[in-house]
Amino acid sequence: EVNNESIFNADEKIKLKEVWVIVKQNNMKKLGDDIMERALKKSSTLINYWYNAYLDQSNNLTFSENDSSINRDALAKQVYCQHGYKVLEKVDQVIMTMVTRTTPTNNNNNNLMNESFRRVAESHAEYKITQNHVDVICESFLESLKSLMYQNSKEWTIKHELAWTKLFTLTTGQFLSATPSTATKKSLS
């Protein structure tokens, strides 16, 4: 379980909230699309992965040999987008739970946060997402957040990066037993 107060200090919560306010003031769907495009550029295997995830989800429905790879890629992108929007909604719940105080004690807040982390984890677990793909998605998410901050004339600092990396590490730790990537380890050091 995650203890909100012992893991995220006040400054980290402020950094997460600063960025998320900008996300909420803009278009979350547009952010999701940007994350997806960045991730797909970084990893050519994501298209095949999400296409196969769709086939698994639809009871191994198969397509004829005449179906074009363009249709296949479009279907994979659609499945990936839908998953991404669900994840963004869950990240929104995590951030809002973390930065708002619901009771004088932190126990309720910690329970809500643990539940939010679990929901993000469940949305990934259904697709059996791999460590490599998680790393690509988290890296793309950070790049998209950084870009959005700059587009809105806001500063992106190392403190923002570290707070978001910590959030991603905790979230992905809920559904992956593998250790964080070298890049994530370096960011947290």
* Residue with tokens 């790049």, as numbered in its chain: 143
- Residue 187 near residue 162 (C-beta atoms within 8 A): yes
Flag whether 1 is in a domain. no
Flag whether 23 is in a domain. yes
Flag whether 83 is in a domain. yes
> What domain range includes position 156?
7-188
Amino acid at site 110? N
144-169 per-position pLDDT tens digit: 999 999 999 999 999 999 999 998 88
**pLDDT for 185:** 39
Averaged confidence pLDDT in the chain = 73
Flag whether 66 is in a domain. yes
* Residue with tokens 């923002």, as numbered in its chain: 160
Spatial neighbors of 85 by CB under 8 A, at least 6 apart, are 28, 29, 32
- Residue 137 near residue 107 (C-beta atoms within 8 A): no
The yes-or-no verdict on residue 60 having pLDDT over 60 is: no
The domain that holds 127 is classified in CATH as 1.10.490.10
Flag whether 136 is in a domain. yes
- Classify residue 85 as exposed, middle or buried by CB count within 10 Å of its CB (0-12, 13-18, 19+): middle
Flag whether 2 is in a domain. no
Q: Is the pTM of this model over 0.75?
A: no
Number of folded domains that form the chain:
1
**DSSP per-residue codes, 61-129:** ----TTS-HHHHHHHHHHHHHHHHHHHHHHHHHHHHHHHS--SSSSHHHHHHHHHHHHHHHHHHHTTT-
